[in-house]
Amino acid sequence: MKTIRSRKGAPGLVEVAARAGVSPATVSRYFNNPDIVKPDTKTRIAEAAVSLGYIRDRMAGALHNRFSGTIGLIVPTIDNAIFAELIEVFGGRLREHDRTMLIASHGYDLNLEVAIVRSLLERRIDGVVLIGFDHDEIPLDMLAQRYVPVISAWNYRANSSLPCVGTDNREAGAIVTQHLLDLGHRDIAFVFPETESNDRARDRLSGAIAAARKYGVEPHSERLRIAPYDIGAAKAVGQKILSERAPTAVVCGNDIIAQGIVYACQASGVRIADDLSIVGIGDFSGSAHMEPGLTTLRLPAQKIGQQAADTILEMSISGLPPAKMRTSIKASLIERGSTKHV
């Protein structure tokens, strides 16, 4: 099986050096450490490089020093409005620093995560960003053993073992619940994703319940519903709730669920806000412009993405833990039309 692709049209560092009349070493320095080469030589090399259409081979470079200029990002799923936003700015930020982003998603399958980490290590990534705190020991060990910096993004926890950048989900759950309590609601339902393998949902729910209890509101099983991350399924759950003894307000684990509940109301002829107040978490695209607008907690995905990028870059360069081990990014409540005083 001969390799077909030839390297005909690809000049190397050596060719550039030859044409510029300098040694390969100097050309290398020109690219990695431009300051230490004489201005005159610099321009000669620059000319040679562009006239040959030279593109450096970072793999060859990475072989020598141990940096590949690549950062891995492992997300549960890309197909999710809010992660997408994070990914977008994360990738942009990395490119500003001349790094590339290697993305992989595991669809909440931890076995896959091991395979992914392995694959990333084979590619000599300079750092890894994980989402959340629910991770298997094995991949973390593999990374630690090779001194690859790792951070967790999206969530914040004061006592996390990994450096983290994100929001405090207990607080998030508490804030939105508090909002309903402030509006006088006492019969509140909670619709959350399965908390088994989802630390975000778990923390949010526990924060929400804790807040409710302070007001003597104890969510019994009827008021505690599970809905997957899916508008249609959440809508079905919403219709179920409305068809029974309906509460006056609903706290939703995320905006997707909240949107489902909104549609359930519309389908059942229940007046949103007047009959049922709804709060979400996330402020996903669309939440602002629905009718009525959804009251929700804005999670600053952009800030998180940017901060995560900065942190992992810092670590990958210094090889040390980051100056700031844990960065808490504040979420803010956005009041829209979906909530009202009882």
What residues numbered 126-165 form the site for a copy of itself, per CB under 8 A?
142, 145-147
Q: Please, are residues 297 and 334 in contact by the beta-carbon 8 Å criterion?
A: yes
Stretch binding a copy of itself (CB under 8 A), from 189-197, 244-252, 287-295, 306-314: 287-295
Instruction: Pick the piece of the chain touching DNA (CB under 7 A) from 2-10, 148-156, 250-258, 333-341.
Output: 2-10
Alpha helices in the chain (DSSP H): 13-20, 24-32, 39-52, 58-64, 81-96, 110-122, 137-145, 169-182, 199-214, 231-243, 255-268, 301-318
Task: Give the number of residues in contact with a copy of itself, rule: CB under 8 A.
Answer: 72
Q: Distance between the two ends of the chain, CA-based, in angstroms? A: 74
- Residues 148 and 124: their CA atoms lie apart, in Å, by 9
Q: Which does 267 bind (CB under 5 to 8 A by kind): DNA, a copy of itself, none?
A: a copy of itself
Which structure tokens are listed for 29? 């320095």
Helix 110-122 vs helix 137-145: angle between axes, to the nearest 10 degrees?
A: 20
Smallest gap from Cβ 294 to a copy of itself, in A, equals 11
**Contact string (CB under 8 A) for a copy of itself, positions 26-55, x = contact:** ---------------------------x-x
Give, as ranges, the residues between 40 and 69 that touch DNA (CB under 7 A). Answer: 40-41, 54, 56-57, 60-61, 63-65
Our finding on whether 3 is near a copy of itself (CB under 8 A) is yes
- Binding of a copy of itself by 178 (CB under 8 A): no
Nearest to 64 by CA among 35, 24, 36, 97: 24
CA atoms within 13 A on the CB side of 216: 2
Q: In terms of CB distance, is 21 or 107 closer to a copy of itself?
A: 107
- Specify whether the backbone of 295 is left (phi greater than 0), alpha (psi in -120 to 50) or beta: beta
Question: Min. distance of Cβ 156 from DNA in angstroms?
Answer: 35
How many C-beta atoms surround the C-beta of residue 290 within 10 A?
Answer: 18
Query: Quick one: what does residue 36 bind among DNA, a copy of itself, none, with the CB cut-off 5 to 8 Å set by partner type?
Result: DNA
The two three-digit tokens of residue 53, written as one number: 């259409």
By beta-carbon proximity to a copy of itself, the closer residue of 5 and 341 is 5
> From the CB of 48, what's the least distance to DNA, in Å?
12
Q: How far is the CB of 26 from a copy of itself (least distance, A)?
A: 19
Sole binder of DNA in the list 4, 5, 18, 26 (CB under 7 A): 26
Contacts (CB under 8 A) with a copy of itself, residues 65-94: 65-70, 77-81, 84-85, 87-88, 91-92
Give least dist CB 100 to a copy of itself, A: 6
Binding residue for DNA (CB under 7 A) from 5, 6, 8, 36?
36
Strand 295-298 to 332-334 pairing: antiparallel
In whole angstroms, the minimum distance from the beta carbon of 260 to DNA comes to 49
Q: How far is the CB of 291 from a copy of itself (least distance, A)?
A: 4
DSSP state of 270: P
Pairing of strands 188-192, 249-252: parallel
String of contacts with a copy of itself for each residue 216-255, x by CB under 8 A: ---------------xx--x--------------------
User: Count of CB atoms within 10 A of residue 226's CB?
Assistant: 16
Task: Transcribe 82-126 into DSSP letters.
Answer: HHHHHHHHHHHHHHHTT-EEEEEE-TT-HHHHHHHHHHHHHTT-S
Residue 26 contacts which entry, a copy of itself, DNA, none (Cβ below 5-8 A, type-dependent): DNA
> Under a CB-based contact definition with an 8 Å cutoff, are residues 254 and 299 in contact?
no
Q: Name the residues that contact DNA, by CB under 7 A.
A: 2-3, 7, 10, 12-14, 17, 21-29, 31-32, 36-38, 40-41, 54, 56-57, 60-61, 63-65
